[in-house]
Structure 1
Amino acid sequence: MTAEIRLQNPAVGIGFILIGTVAISVNDMLIKLLSGGYPLHQMVFTRSVIGIIFSLMLVQLEGGWRILLTKTPGLHLLRCATLVIANLTFFTALAVLTLAEATAIFFIGPLLITLLSIPVLGEKVGPLRLGAVVVGFIGVLIMTRPWQSGETREVSLLIYLLPIVAAFAYAITQVLTRKLGTTTKASVLSTYLQALFIVVSLGFWVVAGDGRYAEALESESLVFLLRAWVWPEGSDLYLFLGLGLNTAIVGYALAQAYRQADAATIAPFEYLGLPLAVFWGWSLWGELPDAVVSLGILLVLGSGLFVFLRERQKKLRGAPHRQGGRGY
């Protein structure tokens, strides 16, 4: 795996990011749906076991077992670890926050990707796009309302910080995906990820799988993280199987997307997840964002779309490109 895979196909990258974003939205919906009766680490283990089977099948199609070898194990481990952190913190927040709120706050991730693409990938980001990033952060502040305290807060600020941590970890993950994707197939990136998820979830099972740490807890998020494993009942078994298949789609589609196109090019398309989150929240739980949250969502969404439109404008003007990242 020494030969560099030079990929630069924005249309393909956009296609894969749209597929991955829809799959992520379905994944979030299923996990929130199951969060009332099962522990998070059980869901992660189940979906990752099923997901790694599909990933290994794709490994065979893309070159065989030999492509699993790598000369950069440290970077791959860092990439997988940051995505594990992103998943655990975001899904833990889902036990308390509405799907729309958690998703909207998490969506500073693509804005962070835009920032991280500067030092890590050598991409150029102009002052207008940097200004859009600031607007997105203001939207997150409006949603989290850090100026509220005590009895005026319905949800602890610490819970709101969870999807922010998830967004930062996710941004690092996807920038590393772009960096590692020049020498690594998407199926391999997905396989490594599922393998670490299995290890981490088994660790949770060994330490807390009997639920002893959840018995005295009042926090819904911590109970979701630490409650005892329960065998899925009835239709829940099919939901768990759906999680596994869906996570295979997510892992492959995102890895392929960030291999095929620059981070700043495809990241804004992940904002499709925002209206999808609102749709799932409304259709399944009757949740609709209030005026304050809606304003924050619009600011985050608007800043992301501006970043995309600004980039398209620069490309139409024939902005110069350079290896290691496109100049914007």
Structure 2
Amino acid sequence: MSTTDRPALGIALICLGVTAISVNDVLIKGLSGAYPLHQIVGIRSAIGLAITLVILQFEGGWARLKTSTPGLHLMRGLLVVSANMTFYAAVAVLPLAQATALFFVAPLFITLLSIPILRETVGPVRLFAVLAGFSGVALMQVPGSAVAADVPRVTYLLPVVAAFLYAMLQVLTRKLGATAPAAALAVYIQTTFLAVSMLFFLIAGSGRFADGFESDSLVFLLRAWVWPATGDITVFAGLGLASGLVGYCLSAAYRLANASIIAPFEYLGLPLAILWGWIFFAEWPVLPTWIGSAIIIGAGLTVFLRERAKARPVTPPRGRGRLR
């Protein structure tokens, strides 16, 4: 079996990567009450980058970072950073399972965006699945579907915006055809995260822009940097390790096996989000969240299976996931 056709290893890596994403989400939500998002992301990315650079040495060394498409990698990095910042601004105040389920509309956005950008033809089955998926999103927006009644309704749209930004990333990457080793892809993304975090620190690190905002999401984005408490240092270390695992595992998984085999295992993220939310934050999804989640995932799997039948992967075989 070739090194690029190893489905068992690919499945193991995608499951490890998705688990690391869910751990990452839990740790960021846990830290969100004391630290600004850009500080959390900056520290996480610095540790994750160090881990990824070590892995890079086993994939050919520094020469593997050379690319003929630097602009594409910059654009991909900025889209990933924007999607992450938007998603975690929601995670700070929303139930983890609900935010995760809402983000899973990304494959539906990918299907819609492929029409104008990739000039693909989308048949009635996939269009119906897209409409059904967005009805699941609407169901989770109605009054009574939220656990926290005091959260502004617009906050529930943040994971959907994150999903749209992520879908743009995938469609543009498919169109432009980026290729690079798994570790190199992760290095580019981690470097972009780190650079954007440092820019936030220079502009808003003092916390002067956080004054006057009542939104917990905006305060999370803009509050002042503080030195980590002793007990939180191990949490930041775990966050960096999770980031390093995500960055490598998701990119490597899609290089070792076909996307048609790998992609469905990403939905492992939702039961994990429900489990962690229940264990760590005493969150349990209300009925509209259960129903909306089932509709969204069912629609996403329908789109995926139709793409598979047409031998066109929903996303490029170079890696998916919110964090890489």
What TM-score results when the alignment is normalised by the length of structure 1?
0.84
Corresponding residue for residue 194 of structure 1: 190
Distance (Å, rounded) in 1 between the aligned partners of 2:178 and 2:75? 17
Corresponding residue for residue 84 of structure 1: 81
Q: CA deviation at 1:137?
A: 1.3
- Contact 1:55 1:248 (C-alpha < 8 Å) held by counterparts: yes
- Contact 2:22 2:269 (C-alpha < 8 Å) held by counterparts: yes
Distance (Å, rounded) in 2 between the aligned partners of 1:61 and 1:271? 30
1:288 to 261, 284, 291: 284
Q: Does 1:242 align with 2:238?
A: yes
List per-residue Cα deviations over 1:239-292 (Å, max 9, x = no partner).
000111110111112222344456566443221111111111111111111111
Distance (Å, rounded) in 1 between the aligned partners of 2:158 and 2:29? 15
Q: Does 1:103 align with 2:100?
A: yes
1:230 to 226, 233, 248: 226
For structure 2, list consecutive stretches of 5 or more residues without a partner in the other structure: 318-324
Distance (Å, rounded) in 1 between the aligned partners of 2:13 and 2:195? 27
For structure 1, list consecutive stretches of 5 or more residues without a partner in the other structure: 1-5
List per-residue Cα deviations over 1:157-213 (Å, max 9, x = no partner).
321221111111122334455677763101111001111111110111111112122
Distance 1:17 1:320, change over 3 A: closer
Distance 1:235 1:153, change over 3 A: closer
Q: CA deviation at 1:115?
A: 4.5
Q: Does 1:71 align with 2:68?
A: yes
Match of 1:183, SS state, is coil
**Which letter does structure 2 place at the counterpart of 1:288?**
W
- Contact 1:7 1:259 (C-alpha < 8 Å) held by counterparts: yes
Corresponding residue for residue 41 of structure 1: 38
Q: How many residues align?
A: 312
Match of 2:58, SS state, is helix
Q: CA deviation at 1:125?
A: 5.8
Corresponding residue for residue 218 of structure 1: 214
Distance (Å, rounded) in 2 between the aligned partners of 1:177 and 1:145? 34
**Which letter does structure 2 place at the counterpart of 1:164?**
V
Corresponding residue for residue 157 of structure 2: 161
Distance 1:64 1:74, change over 3 A: same
Q: Which moved more, 1:57-66 or 1:34-43?
A: 57-66
Distance (Å, rounded) in 1 between the aligned partners of 2:262 and 2:212? 44
Q: Does 1:209 align with 2:208?
A: no
- Contact 2:174 2:316 (C-alpha < 8 Å) held by counterparts: no
- Contact 1:110 1:268 (C-alpha < 8 Å) held by counterparts: no
2:272 to 272, 276, 280: 276
Q: Which moved more, 1:77-86 or 1:247-256?
A: 247-256
Match of 2:140, SS state, is helix
Distance (Å, rounded) in 1 between the aligned partners of 2:126 and 2:260? 10
- Contact 1:46 1:244 (C-alpha < 8 Å) held by counterparts: yes
Match of 1:192, SS state, is helix
**Which letter does structure 2 place at the counterpart of 1:219?**
S
Match of 1:235, SS state, is helix
Distance 1:303 1:96, change over 3 A: same
Q: CA deviation at 1:325?
A: 7.8
Distance (Å, rounded) in 1 between the aligned partners of 2:169 and 2:254? 10
- Contact 2:110 2:171 (C-alpha < 8 Å) held by counterparts: yes
1:94 to 91, 94, 99: 91
Q: CA deviation at 1:133?
A: 2.5
Q: Does 1:303 align with 2:299?
A: yes
Match of 1:216, SS state, is coil
Match of 1:218, SS state, is coil
- Contact 2:69 2:178 (C-alpha < 8 Å) held by counterparts: no
